Amino acid sequence: MKKIVKYLLYVIGAIVLVIVLFFSAVFVTNKVLVSRDRQTVKQYGQKVKVAGHKMTVLIEGQDNKQTIVLLPGFATGSPVIDFSPLRKELSKQFRVVTVEPLGYGLSDTTTSKRSLENMSTELHDVLQSLNIKDYSLMGHSISGIYTLDYLNRYPNEVKTFIGIDSSVPTQNGDNSDVSQGLSILGNSGFYRFVTAVNPDILNYPPVSTTEKKDFRKISLMGFANPAILSEAKEMATNFNESKKLSYPKDDAVLYILSRDSVNDKTDGDWIAQHKEMLTDVKNSKIAVLDGAHYLHHTQSKAIAGLVEQFLTTQHTN
């Protein structure tokens, strides 16, 4: 009996040792690769100083008159690469300003709380630094919440919002704090392991192999950084704060919704919730395109066409 117990203890000890060695290897490997990737990833855009940090901004279609500012969904690894298909389509007709907020892409991170006020102020300061004063905001997913705040803070500068399957204050989804889980995944290096096993977790856009490699590098470099963790922690608060807001009645709003999101009732009636936001808006439209939440990955041409048509109408009114 003693021999059996002793043998079992050896087995348990060996299993524990293997587990410890595995997670240690994952942790060390991630640290080494993050350091290497920071040195080898391809840079893009320009750095604009804001709140003591540097924010990355890419401007295309410089000779076009109308300006569209592109804003990403939550925790998008590299907004510039993520929006690549859409940027190329929009920049044929518009000056396209792709902004990587603090904590995103190649921008610095920050320990400043990711409140609606702080994020709106930072975006405004960046656009002011670039002398961009007349523009439309175009945002994916959670940017629908942040831009609602922005439109109310700076009503004289921006008159149009275009949402790509954008969030609304009344959606039924779970906005609970996931910062602790993200922190564990990021700090342990286990997120890198998980994405190696299942690459689709990174939501790669349809870009070249080289760009996909950079997208992976940037996504893993910045995963669960202080700004993203703060944004996750403030998610419920920001949604609640946005419920007090509505679009200024003279604004123009175009919602481009994903068919998959419309059919999935997890967040409630997706079309009805967006219609409710437009009750007092004079100029508005809702369009539904086939595709998933990252609609700009598959429907960039259709989105650009809808945007051109909508903004042309606003410009001639």
In which domain, by residue range, is 60 found?
Answer: 46-316
What single-letter DSSP state applies at residue 74? T
Q: Is 54 found in the same domain as 192?
A: yes
Long-range contacts of 29-36 (CB under 8 A, 24+ apart): 29/189, 29/192, 30/188, 30/189, 30/192, 30/220, 31/189, 33/192, 33/220, 34/220, 34/221
Q: Is 224 found in the same domain as 279?
A: yes
Q: Is 222 found in the same domain as 195?
A: yes
Q: Report how far residue 27's alpha carbon sits from residue 191's, in angstroms, rounded to the nearest whole number.
A: 10
Q: What amino acid occupies position 39?
A: Q
Nearest Cα residue to 247 out of 172, 141, 131, 161: 161
Q: Is 295 found in the same domain as 180?
A: yes
pLDDT of residue 29: 77
Along the 317 residues of the chain, how does pLDDT read in single tens digits? Answer: 555 655 555 666 667 666 666 667 667 777 777 778 889 999 999 999 999 999 999 999 999 999 999 999 999 999 999 999 999 999 999 999 999 999 999 999 999 999 999 999 999 999 999 999 899 999 999 999 999 999 999 999 998 999 999 999 999 866 777 888 888 888 888 899 889 999 999 999 999 999 999 999 999 999 999 999 999 999 999 999 999 999 998 999 999 999 999 999 888 899 999 999 999 998 999 999 999 999 999 999 999 999 999 998 876 55
- Per the rule left: phi > 0, alpha: psi between -120 and 50, beta: everything else, 48 is beta
Q: Is 138 found in the same domain as 25?
A: no
Nearest Cα residue to 71 out of 151, 137, 157, 158: 137
Name the 3-class secondary structure at 116. helix
Q: Which residue(s) pair with 49 in the sheet?
A: 54
Q: Is 155 found in the same domain as 20?
A: no
**Tokens representing 38?**
């920071």
Q: Is 299 exposed, middle or buried (0-12, 13-18, 19+ CB in 10 A)?
A: buried
pTM of the complete model: 0.92
The domain total for the chain is 2
Q: Is 157 found in the same domain as 30?
A: no
CATH of the domain at 210: 3.40.50.1820
52 CB-near residues (< 8 Å, 6+ apart): none
Q: Is 116 found in the same domain as 8?
A: no
Q: Is 257 found in the same domain as 282?
A: yes
DSSP character string of 21-57: HHHHHHHHHHHHHHHHHHHHSPP-SEEEEETTEEEEE
pLDDT of residue 17: 61
Q: Is 287 found in the same domain as 178?
A: yes
Instruction: Give kind and range of the element (H or E) at residue 95.
Output: strand 95-100
Q: Is 110 found in the same domain as 172?
A: yes
CB 50 within 8 A of CB 126: yes
- Between β-strands 95-100 and 53-60, what pairing exists: parallel, antiparallel or unpaired? antiparallel
Q: Report how far residue 167's alpha carbon sits from residue 71's, in angstroms, rounded to the nearest whole number.
A: 13
Q: Is 149 found in the same domain as 23?
A: no
